[in-house]
Structure 1
Amino acid sequence: MKKHYRSENNCLNCGTTVTDKFCPSCGQENLELHDNFLHLVLHSVSHYFHFESKFFNSIVPLFTKPGYLTKEYFAGKRASHLNPISMYIFISILFFFLFTANSNSNKKDIMEENAAQGSTITKDEAEKVKTVVGNTVSEKAGAYTYTILDNAQIIKDSASNRNDAVVYTNPTAAKADSAEKKGTTISFLDESALPLSLKDRMQKVMDDDLSGQLFINKLVSHLPKMMFILLPLFALILKLVHVRSRKQYAEHLIYSIHVHSFLFLFGSILIVLNWLLPFFGDWIQFLGVVVILWYIYRSMRNIYKSTRWRTVYKFFLLAFAYTFLMLMSGFIVVVATLYTI
């Protein structure tokens, strides 16, 4: 259906003179404001399919042609593809959403399995003791011993869940001890008010389920920020590895964004496949690692045009440096998260 354009040539958005259908300054289309419902719907649908065509024009080559989007970007063919940063943000949000859901699902399964195993072990041990006692004493005494074991286990479990212990002190002994330590300074400072060390905080997170879950949630929320900060550092490593290349830092950065976009999108697909085919989990992970290694190698060859063995050598340098940066960044994020929960 034909669009209704305004007869006036002033842009309603920025005021620039419009010589054609689109504003040369801001790009807004010079359409009539009071359009009928059918035109409004068709206009919205056309914008949607325009975005959809750009989406598929970007996602398909991102998977099938390593390095293609980077070359297209610096060849000036940018209107046909999604903006690299916008694409990265969209894909990273999708990945970390699935990653968080997968982590919570795995944690729930592990807790249920451990609880089942713990219950089974306690019963088995009690049955063994009951059998031994039953062979030497009467059946009534064996059953009584089994009851005592169960009660002792309940008391032990309830005691282990207490955070504070109650200490009863003999007043006479306390006075004697005070008399012996006469002249010493008595501190009324509550030790629990002192800042916990890193080891104590880690122990608290491991022992307390609530603190552990809060730690995981905050840690996962920090990961997208960490990866976004690592993007320019990854590009810097590329610049150093290809020090003789004439490429500018911006070219390394755009390539870095496209590589990370592929990693996050491919990682999202692996998570979904692992949900759908849990019995092939190990094979899916192995295949994922192989595809990722091949993709990075192939994209480096297409972008930097190095020989096969030179690309492999630079790939290992890049992997070593980036792994070191990720470990350092991960350690800093873990420590910062422990001190903020």
Structure 2
Amino acid sequence: MSHGKIREDKTCLNCGHEVEERFCPHCGQENVESRHPFYYLFTHFFEDFTHYDGQFWGTIKNLLFKPGKLTKIYLDGKRTQFVPPVKLYIFISFVTFLFISFQVASIDFGKQGMEKGKATSQEIEKSAAINDSIHKLLTESTEMMKADSLTGGAVTKVLDSVKTGAEASDIDVEKIFKSKSITESFGLHSMRDFDKREEENGHKYQIFRPFLSKIFELEERGHAPGEITDMFIKNSIHNLPKALFLYLPLFAFLLWIFHSKKKWWYFDHGVFTLHYFSFLLLITLLLFIINKLLSYFDESTFATAMNGFFVSAAIIYAGCYFFIAHYRTYRTHPALTIIVGAVLFAINTILFSFLLIGLGIISFLFLH
């Protein structure tokens, strides 16, 4: 690892001690020239983190393919050969959500929803037209009329059901997506209308009042339904890193509850949690990168199939990874590892679902 040219003067610029080789034995600062080109500001940061001597890449390799190894080595006291847990989590979290933010920023969810609704509406209309044509053709056929008389009108009943089904499916989806007002589509023009309905219905839907009030507020500012959807999704993704960071202590606390308090400290569970969440974020980043690469195939069957394969494989691997990492770190009996792991997995799934719901509520109520 080289950050610049070694100074001829062997006096450390930081503490004044004599430097025999490259690094000061007293403070550890590298004894290199202090003036550098502008690009050094960026290369220095990258080199400091990745450590071209292999620390960063060795950490990533072990994090991805050797569940529990980083945690075990760190708790054993060997802490210089790999990136520290907190630094690793912060860096991977930053890169992951930065990449996701760039991807999401280029997507207009409202426009996509409108286009999808328009396509769906066209498909429904086409299907209804085909059914009408078939119905007309078959009902006018002499042979079909004979068959109908022999079957006691069964053919007519089938054709009528087909036509009825087509009419029932003839929904103007495009109109919904092109609606200029969500509240007006429910027949509401102000919060007074909602409160009046609530008095008549016994206040059954009072829980939705804050959300409806926020929709009125956004519509008064001129935001269409598509724009509100777009703002909500992007705001939720923006708040997700904060929610994950707040969930880390809870995840570690659950581990602390299910393990020996004498053998394992809360600190130990925190290290395991940071490594596991770093792995999950790294897997998420890789999936987004793969999805971006497959998007250049214009949603072909191959791209769709491969994307589904990678997502399914990642979900299965993430689940197995937890059990393997748990076993290698805590060294419990395999049967106990499965039982405790399954209970923890179920509890965290429920709690994380509530976290996502809470995140969605907060993200929506704080839209501006």
Is TM (by shorter chain) over 0.5? yes
Residues 1:274 and 1:125: Cα distance change in structure 2 (over 3 Å): same
Q: Which one-letter code corresponds to 2:212 in the other structure?
A: D
SS at the partner of 1:79? coil
1:116 is aligned to 119
Distance across 2 between alignment mates of 1:8 and 1:283: 58
Residues 1:45 and 1:290: Cα distance change in structure 2 (over 3 Å): closer
* Contact 2:105/2:234 (8 A) holds in 1: no
Residues 1:272 and 1:201: Cα distance change in structure 2 (over 3 Å): farther
Residues 1:283 and 1:105: Cα distance change in structure 2 (over 3 Å): farther
Deviation at 1:226, TM superposition (A): 0.5
1:200 is aligned to 212
1:315 is aligned to 341
Residues 1:199 and 1:7: Cα distance change in structure 2 (over 3 Å): closer
Residues 1:331 and 1:214: Cα distance change in structure 2 (over 3 Å): same
Question: Could you state the TM-score of these two structures normalised by the residue count of structure 2?
Answer: 0.64
Deviation at 1:199, TM superposition (A): 4.6
Question: Is 1:211 matched up with 2:249?
Answer: no
Residues 1:106 and 1:51: Cα distance change in structure 2 (over 3 Å): farther
Deviation at 1:247, TM superposition (A): 1.6
Deviation at 1:296, TM superposition (A): 0.9
Residues 1:46 and 1:293: Cα distance change in structure 2 (over 3 Å): closer
Distance across 1 between alignment mates of 2:108 and 2:191: 39
Q: Mapping of 1:183-262 within 5 angstroms? A: 191=192, 197-200=209-212, 208-244=225-261, 246-262=263-279
Give CA-to-partner distance per residue, 1:238-274, whole Å, 9 cap, x none. Answer: 1111135512211111111111111111222233334
* Contact 1:198/1:335 (8 A) holds in 2: no
SS at the partner of 2:71? helix
Give CA-to-partner distance per residue, 1:56-95, whole Å, 9 cap, x none. Answer: 1101111221111112222333222222222212222333
* Contact 1:274/1:284 (8 A) holds in 2: no
Structure 1 or 2, whichever has the larger Rg, is 1
1:73 is aligned to 74
> How many residues matched?
290
Q: Which one-letter code corresponds to 1:293 in the other structure?
A: G
Q: Pick from 4, 8, 11 the counterpart of residue 6 of structure 2.
A: 4
SS at the partner of 2:278? helix
1:175 is aligned to none
CA RMSD of aligned residues (A): 4.3
- Larger mean CA deviation between 308-317 and 85-94 belongs to 85-94
* Contact 1:16/1:25 (8 A) holds in 2: no
User: Where does the alignment leave 5 or more consecutive residues of structure 1 unmatched?
Assistant: 133-152, 166-188
* Contact 1:236/1:252 (8 A) holds in 2: yes
Residues 1:4 and 1:190: Cα distance change in structure 2 (over 3 Å): closer
* Contact 1:16/1:23 (8 A) holds in 2: no
Question: Could you state the TM-score of these two structures normalised by the residue count of structure 1?
Answer: 0.69
Percent identity between matched residues is 25
2:180 is aligned to 161
1:91 is aligned to 92
* Contact 1:241/1:317 (8 A) holds in 2: no
Q: Which one-letter code corresponds to 1:118 in the other structure?
A: S
SS at the partner of 1:78? coil
